[in-house]
Homo-oligomer: A and B are copies of this chain.
Amino acid sequence: MQNFTFYSPTYFAFGKGQENNAGQYVKRFGGSKVLLHFGGGSVVRSGLLDRVKQSLTNEGIAYVELGGVQPNPRSGLVYEGIELCRKEGVDFVLAVGGGSTIDSSKAIAAGTVYDGDFWDFYQGKLVEKALPVGTILTIAAAGSEGSPDTVITHEDGMFKRGATGEALRPAFSILNPELTQTLPAFQTACGITDIMAHLFERYFTTTKEVEVTDRMIEGLLLTMIHEAPRVIADPDHYEARANIMWAGMMAHNNSCGVGRAQDWASHDMEHELSATYDVAHGAGLAVVFPAWMQYVYKNDIMRFAQLATRVWGVQMDFADPEKTALAGIHALRRFLTSIGMPGNFAELGAKAEDIPQMAKTACYGNGRGGSIGGFVALHEEDVVNIYNLML
């Protein structure tokens, strides 16, 4: 195991009705003037936004509003939010929505107290200071409610890039599984895929002797495999939603990713897909991940066999471990199909002709040095090969 530090000072309030305490939590964590940041109509239509406003008003907390966050959130709205926060003297950003809204809120929170262009953070500058952020989560997926990370797409070039820094861990996050019950099955399945991807990206490592985090990751994957079909069959299944929601936070707050090299090449390759076609992040990951596994599994057959037996219930073939490894990848494909995820470029609406450009951007775009990934370092040619496996 490698040396590491781990710091997750987010206050989590989990369960039914917790959003009605939003005002109290904003107060507890020092907010007096809030930017209420959200996406589209569902947060408004469902009455959630009104309840949150009421909760702020009850505590005597002032707020300004900024809606309009899109999936794959854009830089334009971040610039707008930063200007608004400065003009209005905002001291707390409250995200009401999913990963996109939270990521946009984090970008605004960091940018507001930074002298330069907020995009600097998305080109590798560590975020050391930001306004405190609170979140009221409406989809279990990105894990941004517990992570120090944010991903934004810059409209000038459509680069999708991430930033990080301890200052971006939310001060509090409200997780009410009921708020996710209105999600369509497709979005629910996209969230499930994203959560599983966060676990895979930590699981495939070159670090030896990481049994504790292996076992935790496997436990969270087993949870997803158990709960996903139940929630797809019955969107109102509170208990399944609850288990998925806590797993989604644990999958990405890094408590099970500490002390081990990780591999984020699949996320990097997916970011090119969603930047190019504006596809849902989870749907893109459903296409990317099995292809990536297919391409790299020979680098550590026993790790893939371990995943197959411990998580997918494949019988170990001791005479031919490679068969076991491949059966695990096949089980993942079957699972993703069963929850309604796309399996290839055509189902995603992606085009073979864009592969060279996407591979180039993934490896070299926006300051990258020519390769991605930690489990296996992938160069441009490898990325082309992997995209080709998705056709």
CA A9 – CA B14 in complex, angstroms?
A: 17
19 CB-based A-B contacts, threshold 8 Å? A1-B243, A3-B17, A7-B11, A7-B12, A9-B9, A14-B258, A15-B259, A209-B242, A209-B243, A210-B243, A211-B226, A212-B220, A212-B223, A212-B244, A213-B246, A215-B219, A215-B222, A218-B219, A250-B255
**Residues of B contacting A2 in the complex (Cβ-Cβ under 8 angstroms):** 15
Chain B residues lying within 8 Å of A258, measured Cβ to Cβ, are 14, 246
How many copies are assembled?
2
Inter-chain contacts of A18 with B (CB < 8 A): 3
Residue A4, interface by CB 8 Å: yes
How many residues of A are counted as interface, with CB atoms below 8 angstroms from the partner's CB atoms? 44
Q: Shortest Cβ distance from A190 into chain B, in angstroms?
A: 19
Given contacts A246-B259, A258-B14, contact A209 B239 (CB under 8 A): yes
Q: Would B8 and A14 count as touching, CB distance under 8 A?
A: no
Partner of A220, one of B4, B215, B250: B215
Within 8 A of B (CB), among A1-60: 1-18
Q: Which residues of B contact A11 (CB under 8 A)?
A: 5-7, 9
**Which of A227, A244, A255 is packed against the most chain B CB atoms within 10 Å?**
A255
Residue of chain B at shortest CB distance from A14: B4
Which positions 201-237 of chain A face chain B at CB distance < 8 Å?
Answer: 208-213, 215-216, 218-220, 222-223, 226-227
Set of chain B residues within 8 Å of A8, measured between Cβ atoms: 8-9
* Alpha-carbon distance between A346 and B101 when the two chains are bound, in angstroms: 62
Indicate if the CB atoms of B5 and A242 lie closer than 8 Å: no
Contacts of A244 in B (CB 8 A): 212
Judged by a CB distance under 8 angstroms, whether A192 is at the interface is: no
Q: Which single member of B3, B5, B250 contacts A212 (CB below 8 Å)? A: B250
A152 sits at the interface (CB 8 A): no
Of A213, A216, A226, A240, most B-chain CB atoms within 10 Å: A216
In the complex, whether A247 has a CB less than 8 A from a CB of chain B is yes
- Contact partners of A255 in chain B: CB under 8 A: 250, 255
Partner of A211, one of B210, B211, B223: B223
Residue of B nearest to A12 (CB): B6
